[in-house]
Amino acid sequence: MGGVVVSQTVDLRKIQGDIAHGLKGNPTSIEVQDRTDELRNILNDHGDDPWTLFTQKAGDNLKVQPGFEEIGKKIVEECRGLPIALSTIGSALYKKDLTYWETATTRLHSSKTASIKQDDLNSVIRKCIELSYSFLPNDTYKRVFLMCSFFPEDYNIPKETLTRYGMGLALIPNIERVKEARGDIHQTVEELEAASLLLDGNKEDTIKMHDVICDISIQIGDNQQQSKSVVKAGKKLANWPGDFSTTSIGAISLISNHLTKLPNRVNYPETETLLLQDNKNLRLVPDEFFLGMRALKVLDFTGARFKSLTSSTQQLSLLYLLSLDNYRFLNDVSMIGELNRLEILTLRMSGITSLPESFANLKELRILDITLSLQCENVPPGVISSMDKLEELYMQGCFADWEITNENRKANFQEILTLGSLTILKVDIKSVCCLPPYSVAPNWEKFDICVSDSEECRLANTAQWASFTRGLTTGVNLEAFPEWFRQAVSHKAEKLSYQLCGNLSNILQEYLYGNFDEVKSLYIDQCADIAQLIKLGNGLPNQPVFPKLEKLNIHHMQKTEGICAEELPPGSLQQVKMVEVSECPKLKDSLLPPNLIQRMSNLEEVKVTGTSINAVFGFDGITFQGGQLRKLKRLTLHNLSQLTSLWKGPSELVMFHRLEVVKVSQCENLRYIFPYTVCDYLCHLQVLWLEDCSGLEKVIGGNTDENGVHEVPESITLPRLTTLTLQRLPHLTDFYTQEAYLSCPELQRLHKQDCKRLRTNLSDYHSDQEIQEKSS
Whether 18 and 114 map to the same domain: the answer is yes
**Calpha distance 83→50 (Å, rounded):** 7
Please say whether the beta carbons of 303 and 329 come within 8 A: no
Instruction: Compare 603 and 87 and report the one with higher pLDDT.
Output: 603
pLDDT at 666: 97
Residue 601 forms part of a structural domain? no
> Per residue in 647-696, pLDDT tens?
888 777 777 889 999 999 999 999 999 988 888 889 999 999 999 999 99
Final residue of a structural domain among 195, 225, 255: 225
132 or 758: which leads in pLDDT: 758
| Confidence grade of residue 702 (pLDDT, cut at 50, 70, 90) | low
- Report yes or no: 288 and 265 within 8 Å, Cβ to Cβ: yes
- 175 and 243 housed in the same domain: no
Please indicate, yes or no, whether residues 82 and 160 belong to a single structural domain of this protein: no
HEC sequence for 55-124? HHHHCCHHHHCCCHHHHHHHHHHHCCCCHHHHHHHHHHCCCCCHHHHHHHHHHHCCCCCCCCCHHHHHHH
In this structure, the answer to whether residues 127 and 163 fall within a common structural domain is no
Q: Based on the domain organization, do 62 and 120 belong to the same domain? A: yes
Average pLDDT in the 547-576 region? 93
430/221: higher pLDDT: 430
| Residue-averaged pLDDT of the chain | 84
pLDDT at position 20 is 42
Mean pLDDT within 741-769 = 90
What's the CA gap between 10 and 298, in Å, rounded?
A: 37
**Residue 372 located in a structural domain:** no
In a domain, 150, yes or no: yes
Residues 94 and 159 in one domain: no
CA angle 503, 507, 512 (to 5 degrees): 115
Phi and psi angles of residue 360, each rounded to the nearest 5 degrees, phi first: -65, -15
Residues 151 and 104 in one domain: no
Quick check: 333 and 307 in contact, CB under 8 A? Answer: no
Q: What is the DSSP string of 586-607?
A: T--SEEE-HHHHHH-TT--EEE
Residues 49 and 101 in one domain: yes
pLDDT at 21 over 60: no
Q: Is residue 685 part of a domain?
A: no
**Residue 192 falls inside a structural domain:** yes
Number of domains in the chain: 3
pLDDT of residue 585: 94
- Range(s) of the domain holding residue 150: 143-225
Of 86-95, 386-395, 706-715, which gets the smallest average pLDDT?
A: 706-715
β-bridge mates for residue 628, sequence order: 654
Residue 708 clears pLDDT 60, i.e. is over it: no
Domain boundary among 225, 247, 279: 225
The answer, as to whether pTM is greater than 0.85, is no
Q: pLDDT value at position 201?
A: 92
* 184 in a structural domain: yes
* 125 & 20 share domain: yes
3-state secondary structure of 579: strand
Q: Are residues 202 and 275 in the same domain?
A: no
Q: Ranked by mean pLDDT, which of 15-19, 274-278, 463-467 comes out on top?
A: 274-278
Looking at the fold, whether 209 and 147 belong to one and the same domain comes out as: yes
> Region 753-773: what's the mean pLDDT?
89
pLDDT of 63 = 55
Instruction: Find, among 402, 397, 405, the residue nearest to 380 by Cα.
Output: 402
Residue 95 pLDDT: 67
Decide which of 295, 314, 332 is a domain's last residue: 295
CATH code, domain with 202: 1.10.10
